[in-house]
């Protein structure tokens, strides 16, 4: 892979404000009531020993993407940068990929009637060396994005310093999205 993109989500900085969700909606014209990205909060524990988990729900751009291997028409494909894209022409909306995704990242766009998901804002931003909309809008700078091959990239440096977890790592999807787990409060 030429680039090794990583999107780092720091659960400690995330406050669940959904600015990322709205920014994504505007940037990508996401239809109403569909979400390419959302943060889900869950209060855990028994009063007063509580904690709150913050979970970013979105495509994690697997390096072994199950959505690509199940797509019968190669509408879901992986570019040489390792990003998973959707070729809208070839998508027959069979929804196999939606079921295959362990992260529930995909959905049917009710207006265009094809499958859609987070694209890391590739066309409008990442391909132009800019950050995805969610990363640049985050009020607390909980998201960082970059190419891990560049050792001076902020995301590479932060990855070195912090404890990183990969969502559903046991499935061996090798996500490009990593998160820094919550240090505060009760943990599950």
Give the footprint of other proteins on residues 61-100 (CB under 8 A): 66, 69-75, 89-96, 98-100
Of residues 128-147, those binding other proteins (CB under 8 A): 133, 136-142
Give the interface size with other proteins as a residue count (CB under 8 A): 77
Q: Which of 160, 161, 184, 188 binds other proteins (CB under 8 A)?
A: 184
**Contact 58/37 with Cβ under 8 angstroms?**
yes
Q: Which range, of 1-9, 78-86, 103-111, 151-159, touches other proteins by CB under 8 A?
A: 103-111
CB of 81 to other proteins, least distance (A): 20
> Could you tell me the CA-to-CA distances from 67 to 71, 96, 102, 106 in Å, in that order?
6, 8, 9, 9
Q: For residues 132 and 156, which CB has a smaller minimum distance to other proteins in the complex? A: 132
User: In the stretch 105-124, what mask flags binding to other proteins with x, by CB under 8 A?
Assistant: --xx----xxx--------x
Q: Which of 137, 168, 158 is nearest to 57 (CA)?
A: 168
55 bridge partner residues:
40
Indicate left, alpha or beta for 71 from its phi (over 0: left) and psi (-120 to 50: alpha). Answer: beta
Residue 7 Cβ vs other proteins, minimum distance, rounded to whole Å: 16
165 forms part of the interface with other proteins (CB under 8 A): no
Using the minimum distance from each CB to other proteins, give the nearer residue, 4 or 52.
Answer: 52
Give the nearest distance from C-beta 106 to other proteins in angstroms: 9
Buried b (16+ CB within 10 A) or exposed e, 69-83: eebeeebbbbeebbb
Q: How far is the CB of 147 from other proteins (least distance, A)?
A: 19
Residues 12-51 that bind other proteins (CB under 8 A): 12-13, 15-19, 21-23, 25-27, 29-35, 38-43, 45-48, 50-51
The three-state (H, E, C) secondary structure of 6-46, written as one string: EEEEECCCCCCCCHHHHHHHHHHCCCCCCCCCEEEEEEEEE
99: tokens are 């079921």
**Among candidate residues 111, 109, 115, 110, the one with its CA nearest the CA of residue 97:** 115
Question: Is residue 145 classed as helix, strand or coil in its secondary structure?
Answer: strand
Minimum CB distance to other proteins, residue 1 (Å): 19
């Amino acid at each position: 892979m030429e680039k090794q993109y990583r999107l780092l989500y720091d659960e400690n900085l995330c406050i669940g404000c959904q600015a990322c969700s709205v920014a994504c909606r505007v940037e990508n014209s996401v239809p109403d009531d569909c979400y390419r990205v959302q943060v889900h909060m869950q209060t855990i524990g028994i009063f007063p020993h509580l904690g709150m988990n913050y979970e970013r729900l979105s495509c994690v751009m697997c390096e072994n993407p199950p959505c690509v291997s199940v797509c019968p028409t190669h509408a879901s494909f992986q570019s040489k940068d390792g990003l998973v894209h959707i070729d809208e022409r070839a998508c027959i909306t069979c929804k196999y990929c939606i079921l295959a995704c362990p992260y529930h990242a995909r959905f049917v766009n009710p207006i265009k009637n094809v499958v859609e998901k987070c694209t890391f804002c590739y066309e409008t931003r990442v391909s132009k060396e800019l950050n995805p909309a969610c990363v640049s809008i985050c009020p607390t700078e909980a998201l960082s994005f970059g190419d891990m091959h560049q050792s001076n990239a902020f995301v590479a440096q932060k990855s070195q310093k912090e404890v990183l977890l990969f969502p559903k790592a046991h499935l061996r999807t090798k996500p490009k999205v990593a998160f820094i787990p919550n240090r505060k409060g009760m943990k599950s």
